[in-house]
Every structure is written in structure tokens, then in C-alpha cells.
Amino acid sequence: MRSFCLAIGTLLLAVIWTAQFIAGWRGSVTAHMLAHMAVVAVASPLMAVGLAPSIIRPKASTLIGLPIWASLVELVVVWGWHAPVARRWADGSSLGMAAEQASFLMAGLFLWMSCLAAGRAARPSQRAAGTVGLLLTSMHMTLLGALLALSPRPLYGDENVTCLGLTLTAAEDQQVGAVVMLLVGAASYLAGGVVLLSGLLADPDRRAA
């Protein structure tokens, strides 16, 4: 199962990145969000399921703090690349887009692998840290999506854009992109956190205590 998840995640990542570089959809916030969420909220957790057991083997004492640090790294990367100046660089430069996508993947893998490793730990406090890391990420992803959706003006330009054959105003494009972030990104981290939490609550040692 781990090998299958790794293969599917890697294939999805290859499709996303190929489409990003060959399609004429740069400048669309919606297209950017579709690719972004596919990398960090779909491909990364699939790949992490296959990679985490063989790569993430931290000491027990670090499992409590590692998911929290990973969530903070994800926050800095995601919020940083959604600053207008960073978006302009990524949209207008192949180097910028490569840097953006690589940082999304590294931050996503770091987070999911850290939280999954903590979720398999023996101590309840360590397993709880994995849950907190994913739920905290869901919260700051939801906040960013809400801020983009409720912004009184477009942050990334004023011109109409084309995405997947649809022509959208800049405001509509930003709002649809924000909804994608909320529906896919925030929901993925929330679901992961709930799964780890259910495993923690179902722990026989915890119930016995």
C-alpha cells in the first residue's frame, strides 16, 4: 500500500508540474491554487505515506515539537508565496515558478511526514503532536483562504484572466482560487488531523487509563 501511494503521488506531481510549465494559465489565481493544493494537500500526503516510514525516524523526544515546527514552516512558505510580489515573480519567471513549486513540495512533505511519524509513536503526547500539527495547518490555511476571498480588491492584478477555458475578472479569479484553497487545502489537513485524532482516542492504553 505504501508503494502504491508513493507511485500515485509521484505521478500526480509529475502531471501537475508538467501542466504548470506548458499550459498558458500563468497569471490565474484559480489555476495556481489548483496546482498548489494538488501538490501540498494531495500529492504530498500520498508520497508521505510511502516515504515517512523509511525517512522520518526522529528521536522520541523530538516527535512532540517536529510537527509544530513543520506547520510553522508550511505557514511561512504558503503565506510568503501568496504575497503579491512573490506571485508576480512566480507568474512571470520559470525560475520563480520552479522555486515556488519546489518549496511547496518540500514544506508539504516535511509537514505530512512529521505528522504521520508522530501519529505512529508510542506515547499519546507524541501522537497528539501530529494531530495538532495538521489541525494548526488547517487553521492557517483557512485563514489565508478567507482573507483572499473577502479582500475588497484584487491583490494580483486588475486584468481578466483565462482559466480552464473560462474568462474571469481579477476579483472573480481571486475569489474562486480562495474557495479552492478552502475546499481542498483546509479540508485535507482537517481530515488528516481528524484521522490521527481518532487513532489517538482509540488507543487501548488511553482507554484503559
How far is the C-alpha of 158 from the C-alpha of 170, rounded, in Å?
A: 5
State yes or no: pLDDT of 209 exceeds 50.
no
pLDDT, one tens digit per residue, over 34-77 is 989 999 999 999 999 888 665 555 555 556 688 999 999 999 99
Q: How many domains does the chain have?
A: 1
Domain that holds residue 46: 2-208
Write down the pTM of the prediction: 0.87
Rounded (to 5) percent helix, strand, coil in the chain: 80, 5, 20
State yes or no: pLDDT of 146 exceeds 70.
yes
CB 77 within 8 A of CB 55: no
How far is the C-alpha of 121 from the C-alpha of 109, rounded, in Å?
A: 18
Three-class SS of residue 158?
coil
pLDDT attached to residue 108 = 95
Q: How many CB atoms lie within 10 A of CB 205?
A: 9
How far is the C-alpha of 32 from the C-alpha of 44, rounded, in Å?
A: 16
pLDDT attached to residue 189 = 93
